[in-house]
A and B are shown apart, each in its own frame.
Chain A
Amino acid sequence: MKVFISYGDVADQVTALRLQALGSVNGLTVYVPPAHTRRGAPPPLDPEASQKLNQAEVVLGVVGSGLTEACRQELSTGLALHKNMIVMSHPVFAPQLQPHFVSDLVVIDPANPDRVELGIVQHLKVLDAQQTAKTALLALGTLALGLLLLAPADRS
């Protein structure tokens, strides 16, 4: 199964790469866009990222430290392509994402991680997708939750 991980900011790439490593050992082909797509002026969608996004069956958004235009574009494209999606977001960035990704957004509440997990499960219940895609989203979403909760607290 092909998975596309769109991360919010350069600092979130570490979380995405960790998910890629964990996904790879479990048989998933995970693509993480290069860091240069998150630097400098907002470019049009990277051609390689666009191709990988087209091929992906599952799109996971990881927004913990920032939200760049490239990430927003990737997530919007994933939405337009009707991909199976979950966007895991730190509460700070939720208001920016809420209007566009209402049903796909899971806001991470560090005080209540069990509710976040419940949110992922509820989202998957209404998602019209194959069981393998749901399993991948549940596993990656749960791992992302753990990694974001354990990430350094000194984020700006």
Chain B
Amino acid sequence: MRSRGCTIDSSCIIALDHLYLVPQLSMLFEIVLVPKAVRNELFKVRATKDRLQLIFSTYGFFQRCDGYDQGTVDFLLAERLDPV
């Protein structure tokens, strides 16, 4: 059986943390990837920076994601900016 993973964005992290539902995410996924851009965004504010660091320290299934294809990212962003 393959492990299920997902990529998470800032608003989801903030909402799940606010609702104390971060550990429950483990019911759905074995790995939750936090991209660099999401980390940078959350690290801009002291409160969210501290929370994210605590999440990384407490939950092993939250992992930093630094390896991704920039071409795919550009393609997806362009698609979002220019819906057909």
Contact = CB atoms under 8 A, between A and B. Distances in A.
A152 B57 contact: no
Nearest to B4: A152
A32 B1 CA distance: 25
B61 A14 contact: yes
Query: A-side binding surface: helix, strand, loop or mixed?
Result: helix
A13 B61 contact: yes
A32 B26 CA distance: 13
B30 interface: yes
Interface size class of A (residues with CB under 8 A): 10 to 19
A20 B30 CA distance: 15
A128 interface: no
A17 B59 contact: yes
A17 B22 CA distance: 10
Interface in A1-55: 10-11, 13-14, 17-18, 20-21, 32, 34-36, 38
Interface string B48-84: 0000000001111100000000000000000000000
B59 A13 contact: yes
A35 B3 contact: no
Contacts of B60: 10-11, 13-14, 35, 38
A23 B28 CA distance: 16
Contacts of B2: 152, 154
Given A152-B1, A152-B3, A153-B1, A21 B26 contact: yes
6 contacts: A21-B24, A32-B23, A35-B57, A35-B60, A36-B58, A152-B3
